């Protein structure tokens, strides 16, 4: 079963690239990977602008708060490399033969996905708050679209990372339930014997005894039959 090995029911099987790319989890990772590029790419390329002609230095468009831009870039980069790492883990997950290693991989996925969902939530709130306080000058208006894109895709990233965390939690619960079921059925001691058939009371009843099939009691001279004399 799939849950018996934390989502790797065919552990050790060959990798089918087409089936792997069609998996919902793979599509979610690719999508959030693209969203992370949009966020930190927009901030790096277009959210550092000149306030006006009298200020030649580049300022962060989010209320001139350098921390807002830095935080958005940092979360985007973390999500970018995190998606690549777990994409590789998903690719070779079927090759992991140890149940304990698969359990660690699922727990790591669960923790990281929940952590990224929290970071993106903070990023969305932080960027949106600073954008509301931003006074759009002529210079800042040039990067307005990039700032809105960073805020929008930060919000979308929250949803996707929450979905990834829920999928990892589902895989963990399935694997744990099946492990408990297997533990109840068989003893933990490798030398323990398998449970036998349930024993009876130890007293056999003569009333329920039946003769073996195809056996008859042969009499030397059955009734009604006489041996012919030659």
User: What's the whole-model pTM score?
Assistant: 0.69
* Dist CA 60 CA 213 (whole Å): 96
pLDDT at residue 3 in the model: 41
SS3 label, residue 49? strand
pLDDT at residue 141 in the model: 83
Parse the chain into domains and list their residue ranges.
27-178
**DSSP, res 159:** H
The answer to whether the beta carbons of residues 127 and 62 sit under 8 Å apart is yes
The distance of Cα 229 from the centroid of its chain, to the nearest Å, equals 92
> Which positions of the chain have pLDDT values less than 70?
1-15, 52-53, 55, 177-230
**Helix boundaries (H) for 133-194:** 144-185
In this predicted model, what pLDDT tens digit does every residue of 119-173 receive, in sequence order? 999 999 999 999 999 888 777 788 899 999 999 999 999 999 999 999 999 988 8
* 134 contacts: CB under 8 Å, gap ≥ 6: 61, 62, 63, 64, 140, 147
- Evaluated on CA atoms 17, 22, 25, 30, the torsion sign reads positive
Token output for 224: 């009604």
* Dist CA 113 CA 169 (whole Å): 10
Per-chain mean pLDDT for the chain = 79
The answer to whether the beta carbons of residues 78 and 93 sit under 8 Å apart is no
pLDDT at residue 50 in the model: 82
**DSSP, res 59:** E
Place of tokens 């799939």: 2
Picking from 62, 156, 60, the residue whose alpha carbon sits closest to that of residue 116 is 156
């Amino acid at each position: 079963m799939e849950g018996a090995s934390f989502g790797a029911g065919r552990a050790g099987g060959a990798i089918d690239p087409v089936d792997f790319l069609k998996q919902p989890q793979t599509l979610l990772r690719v999508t959030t990977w693209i969203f992370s590029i949009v966020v930190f790419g927009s901030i790096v390329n277009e959210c550092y602008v000149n306030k006006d002609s009298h200020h030649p230095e580049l300022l962060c468009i989010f209320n001139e708060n350098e921390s807002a831009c830095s935080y958005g870039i940092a979360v985007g980069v973390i999500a970018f490399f995190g998606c690549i790492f777990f994409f590789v883990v998903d690719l070779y997950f079927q090759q992991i033969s140890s149940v304990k290693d698969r359990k660690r991989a699922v727990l790591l996925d669960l923790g990281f996905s929940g952590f990224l969902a929290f970071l993106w939530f903070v990023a969305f709130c932080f960027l949106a708050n600073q954008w509301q306080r931003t006074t759009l000058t002529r210079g800042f208006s040039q990067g307005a679209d990039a700032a809105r894109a960073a805020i929008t895709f930060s919000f979308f990233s929250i949803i996707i990372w929450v979905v990834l965390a829920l999928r990892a939690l589902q895989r963990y619960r399935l694997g744990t339930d099946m492990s408990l079921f297997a533990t109840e059925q068989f003893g933990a001691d490798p030398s323990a014997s398998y449970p036998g058939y349930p024993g009876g009371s130890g007293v056999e009843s003569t009333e329920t005894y039946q003769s073996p099939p195809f056996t008859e009691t042969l009499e030397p001279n059955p009734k009604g039959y006489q041996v012919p004399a030659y």
